[in-house]
Structure 1
Amino acid sequence: MDFPKERGNLEEVEIDLEDSSDAEDLDDGERAEAPWRTRPDLRDEEENIDTSSLVDISDTKPLLNIRDPRGINDCLKVTFEDVIAEPLSVRSGDRVWIWSHALFEVCRVWMYRAFTVLLALPMSLLSGLLFAVLSYLHVWMIRPSMQAILMGTRWLQSLWKATLDVLVRPLLTSTGRCCGSFSVHLAEN
């Protein structure tokens, strides 16, 4: 099942919790809205948020509409049908199936939002701190140390290259030429 990458492409989804035999239309021919129906597109509201000119030119401004531009978390696109499936030989009642689907979706969405509210900021702080420390170590300690070692061992690199060119390359070249004359023919019996 393909999912849109942008939040702006999401369509409203309505899950009917009534059996097809219990469907009652309203006076004007429309169905009543479910209270847990997905929210409409909020892109226009997000674009009207006042930001300073520094935020507009910053490379750290979060992407509000495309939150996974590289598809890092494609494995998390799980739907009810990916988790629960009843074969034809065993089936629950229609209302049980419909309510199970609705509860799965509501629980999945709202529990994710609750965990995000509770844990997103502390985890972002810890992740930022971790990447800052790793960047500092790489830029100021690891890379200069490696460069100093490489500069101090240029003579060893030259000696190793000469040894390989004089001793190992002729041996492997002659072995390759000797073995290159072999041929294999497959025959059916």
Structure 2
Amino acid sequence: MMKGDDSQEVEIDLGDSSDNEDFDNGEEPHTLWKAPLALEEEENIHTTTMVEISDTKPLINVRDPRGINDCLKVTFEDVIAEPVSVRSGDRVWIWSNALFEVSRVWIYRIVTVLLAIPMSIISGLLFAILSCFHIWMVGPCIQCILIGTRWLQSLWSVVLGVIVRPFLTSAGRCYGGFSIHLAKE
């Protein structure tokens, strides 16, 4: 995948106080943490026919198209928040934020590697068995019952049309003549 020329990276400097020195050799300072691309920047990513397989460049861009897991969009600020009255040092806050994000991402990846394939196999097996059971057992049984009780359906529609419908229609007309007026005294 290739990025367009107009995309920008947001960098957060986590360096110590010694990072304020100027670099004589013209190199940029090494940043320990980079923020992810914004949604607008992800849409500007152009793909070629030769797609590189990498952890940072997913093959499937939209992995939750129906928003099933919107409740799991958790950021550091959703979990930890300091009020104005009590605050830790800026470096503690920045490093805590970075460690939270890195540990959240990597622990998720490790657990996914351990559980994703077995859970996919179990889920696929379960849905295959349920589909087969529904297609070859439940569906035909329901159709047999519907065919066998077709006379009962027609009898029930006659009973509803001849007895119940006129009774409810006349009751509705009788009670429809009543009106209630509220007055303040």
TM-score range relative to shorter protein: 0.7 to 0.9
Equivalences, count: 168
Structure 2 portions without partners, runs of 5+: 53-58
Aligned alpha-carbon RMSD (Å): 3.3
User: Distance between the aligned counterparts of 1:178 and 1:25, measured in 2?
Assistant: 93
2:151 paired residue number: 155
Deviation for aligned residue 1:178:
2.1
1:78 paired residue number: 74
Larger Rg: 2
TM-score of the superposed pair, with normalisation by structure 1? 0.74
1:48 aligned onto 2:50: yes
1:175 paired residue number: 171
Is the 8 Å Cα contact of residues 13 and 31 (structure 2) preserved in structure 1? no
Deviation for aligned residue 1:99:
1.4
Amino acid at match of 2:14: L
Amino acid at match of 1:17: L
1:5 paired residue number: none
Which structure 2 residues correspond to residues 77-116 of structure 1 after superposition, within 5 A? Answer: 77-116=73-112
Alignment identity in percent? 62
Deviation for aligned residue 1:32:
1.7
User: Distance between the aligned counterparts of 1:129 and 1:95, measured in 2?
Assistant: 49
1:128 aligned onto 2:124: yes
Higher relative contact order (CA 8 A, sep 6+): 1
User: Distance between the aligned counterparts of 2:139 and 2:72, measured in 1?
Assistant: 36
Which structure 2 residues correspond to residues 62-77 of structure 1 after superposition, within 5 A? Answer: 64-77=60-73
1:143 aligned onto 2:145: no
Residue aligned with 1:182, SS: coil
Deviation track 1:50-102 (CA, whole Å, cap 9, x = no partner) reads: 9xxxxxxxxxxxx6222112221111111111111111122122222111111
1:15 paired residue number: 12
Is the 8 Å Cα contact of residues 25 and 31 (structure 1) preserved in structure 2? no
Is the 8 Å Cα contact of residues 12 and 37 (structure 1) preserved in structure 2? yes
Q: Which deviates more from structure 2 when the two are superposed, residues 157-166 or residues 178-187?
A: 178-187
Structure 1 portions without partners, runs of 5+: 1-7, 51-62
Deviation for aligned residue 1:26:
5.0
TM-score of the superposed pair, with normalisation by structure 2? 0.75
